Structure 1
């Protein structure tokens, strides 16, 4: 099946990529591979949504997440909204209106993986009120998304220079507005996902791909943790690993309830 092929291709790309990046073996001519990696990761998220829920809804969610996040990033680049004043490196892949298309797919990966974690964790509390459940789910999903950013942005800024900020902050010179923007955008998108999937909320049609999303969440974080260690960004490593372990522990506890 094409879905399995894409997953295996991602794993192959991941293994080769983490080796090349960790040892500075990626030649300049292959910098495009970073964008392909993010597109593959986002595609896996889209596959999850489309096979775990009604296909039309899954595709609708995926396209909306990519479009909305690229628009939010465009607002950020051009009007300094959400993420602070920043700009992308010219080598970060094909762009639409100044925003790399890979960023939209990266956000799809973020939302799909944190959706799985947040949904399972919230199930543990057996919340009956749909409004409270939606807010709690979106809040957990928002924080799970920020955990990824705690290591991605320091690495992208200081080690790989994928993007540059023009104003500082206490955490690796990254403005607080960036993390607040990540939480806000992830929170809103998770609310959107909840509304679209409200009727199917108790369903999990494909447990295998649900597990793949948890693996994807961990793999993405581990890749950037390796790069953070390489760049001596030890605080980001400690904070991110602790937060990730906490979320995974909560997920496993809810899963075994």
Structure 2
């Protein structure tokens, strides 16, 4: 099952240029060694990713749909993160440093937009791989697409969390964890949190989403770009490893539980996760898009309708 095509409206080709520009900007920040602090580079990447998510979502889901996705993502993630900091549920016991700037309650404001931007990419990839949830969709797609999207999203966290927490101290796991200072509970908590807002959005799409009769055709580039954007995010961890890591990070770091980790091992593992999880998912989505042939009519249209009365007549004569 393929995703539904985008609304065909005059003058929308500029949006593809905007999407491509956002991906290119993120790629420049990733691949070009700019003389800027790490947090500034992170914010520039996040800004490009936000532009991409909003522009891509507006073109497909319109303003109301992408607004619903944003509200659900921001509300559920902030509630879960604040609950996690207060109680340790569902992620485990941790707290944020002040490096990430102002906070909404106990969670930095930047965390929500990161959930939204990368979360939208993961959702788009899931719709490519399994199918778009729209009004009247079956339950397989309505439940399956959020599940697939949650795995795509957590693949990013597997690459990101050990670097951001254990090496760079943007948040601290108070009891440490076996995955370079990050506990298993973190990834289980992520799975629950992101699946929740994906499933809520899928239910909204099933009940209130755009009807398929209002949807036109989208070029392949439109569906290819989320896979490329997600691949750029993945390549950031590969480039970091090949470049020897971030400046200012000690060769060895000690987590809150007193375990010592080698920074190069963290960078190498993040690169491996990015290559064999994130890049694999990007490749799979890109190949799925390449399989689509929007110029060829459906198979059923190529087959002449069967005249059942004629078939019965011929069968009777042969007897």
TM above 0.5: yes
Corresponding residue for residue 240 of structure 1? 274
> Quick one: distance in 2 between partners of 1:151 and 1:201?
37
Corresponding residue for residue 26 of structure 1? 36
Corresponding residue for residue 113 of structure 1? 121
Rg comparison, structure with higher value: 2
> Quick one: distance in 1 between partners of 2:27 and 2:20?
10
Gaps of 5+ in 2: 1-13, 246-262, 293-319
> Quick one: distance in 2 between partners of 1:186 and 1:215?
21
Tell me the secondary structure at the aligned position of residue 172 of structure 1: coil
User: What per-residue deviation string (whole Å, max 9, x for no partner) do you get for residues 214-242 of structure 1?
Assistant: 22211112113333452422223223311
> Quick one: distance in 2 between partners of 1:63 and 1:204?
26
Corresponding residue for residue 92 of structure 2? 84
Q: Which has the higher helix share?
A: 1
Report how many aligned residue pairs link the two structures.
249
User: What per-residue deviation string (whole Å, max 9, x for no partner) do you get for residues 147-204 of structure 1?
Assistant: 1011100110233222111112221121101101111112112212212223448658
> Quick one: distance in 2 between partners of 1:204 and 1:183?
33
In 2 relative to 1, CA 42–201 (structure 1 residues): closer, same or farther, beyond 3 Å?
A: farther
Residues 142, 187 of structure 1: 8 Å contact kept: yes
The CA deviation at 1:10 is 6.6
Residues 49, 62 of structure 1: 8 Å contact kept: no
Corresponding residue for residue 218 of structure 1? 231
In 2 relative to 1, CA 183–115 (structure 1 residues): closer, same or farther, beyond 3 Å?
A: same
In 2 relative to 1, CA 133–201 (structure 1 residues): closer, same or farther, beyond 3 Å?
A: farther
Question: More displaced, 223-232 or 140-149?
Answer: 223-232
1:100 aligns with 2:108: yes
Equivalent of residue 188 in structure 2, options 177, 180, 186: 180
> Quick one: distance in 2 between partners of 1:135 and 1:209?
24
Tell me the secondary structure at the aligned position of residue 92 of structure 2: coil
In 2 relative to 1, CA 9–143 (structure 1 residues): closer, same or farther, beyond 3 Å?
A: closer
User: What per-residue deviation string (whole Å, max 9, x for no partner) do you get for residues 77-111 of structure 1?
Assistant: 22222221111121112321121111111001122
Tell me the secondary structure at the aligned position of residue 110 of structure 2: helix
Gaps of 5+ in 1: none
User: What per-residue deviation string (whole Å, max 9, x for no partner) do you get for residues 49-71 of structure 1?
Assistant: 22211321212211321222122
TM-score, with length taken from structure 2: 0.68
The CA deviation at 1:211 is 2.9
The CA deviation at 1:210 is 3.4
Question: More displaced, 214-223 or 192-201?
Answer: 192-201
Residues 36, 102 of structure 1: 8 Å contact kept: no
In 2 relative to 1, CA 44–8 (structure 1 residues): closer, same or farther, beyond 3 Å?
A: same
User: What per-residue deviation string (whole Å, max 9, x for no partner) do you get for residues 31-76 of structure 1?
Assistant: 3553353244234212322221132121221132122212221111
1:154 aligns with 2:162: yes
The CA deviation at 1:252 is 3.2
> Quick one: distance in 2 between partners of 1:248 and 1:14?
15
The CA deviation at 1:138 is 1.5
TM-score, with length taken from structure 1: 0.82
Tell me the secondary structure at the aligned position of residue 172 of structure 2: strand
